[in-house]
Amino acid sequence: MDNYSLSRITIGDVMRELAKYAQVPRIENAFNLAAKSLWAEYAELGTALVLEDSMNYFLRAFPHPVNKLIRAAGVENLTSSSVIEFYINDSEFFSKKGNALQGLVFIKENMQHHAVFADECIVEKIQYYLRAIDVYTPEIINDLFSMLQIPHSTHTSLNLARPNTEILFLK
């Protein structure tokens, strides 16, 4: 085989040939895996327990006087409009941290809407909200990835993007 022939071989060619003999890992985005896992939990079991655990983690990790009220009311009953009502007197906290809680509620509401109307690509929508939450509170996404057992690099900086979101994943 000459050098010209070798230069025309693509990674896709190699991966397709390897797949004939063994299960080959593929590169997948951690946010996409998390979105698929959240949707699968809701679609198969009708629950959003992982999201609700993330909401409870938020309420414990970021102290605020109204968090006790939210916990007492129960995160399973939380709506996006009630989040605004709880934090209405503290717009600074809401704009810096509270948006993460509302993003988690948006994910849950979108899954409920999709289950009834099926009018949008739900995995992409969930992924969008997860990335937005990562901008405000990367700790929430670190915890979510840990709960879902998705390999991830710890991210704590609000100024830098999350490193290494592309991971090898066995189908």
What amino acid is encoded at 115 in this protein?
A: A
Structure confidence at residue 114 (pLDDT): 84
Structure confidence at residue 42 (pLDDT): 92
Structure confidence at residue 51 (pLDDT): 94
The CA angle 160-166-169, to the nearest 5 degrees, is: 150
What amino acid is encoded at 136 in this protein?
A: Y
Residue 157 burial by CB count (10 A; 0-12/13-18/19+): exposed, middle or buried?
exposed
Find, among 133, 157, 153, the residue nearest to 145 by Cα: 153
Between 31 and 20, the higher pLDDT residue: 31
pLDDT digits (tens, 9 = 90+) for 41-58: 998 988 899 999 999 999
* Residue 136 confidence (pLDDT) above 70: yes
Structure confidence at residue 146 (pLDDT): 92
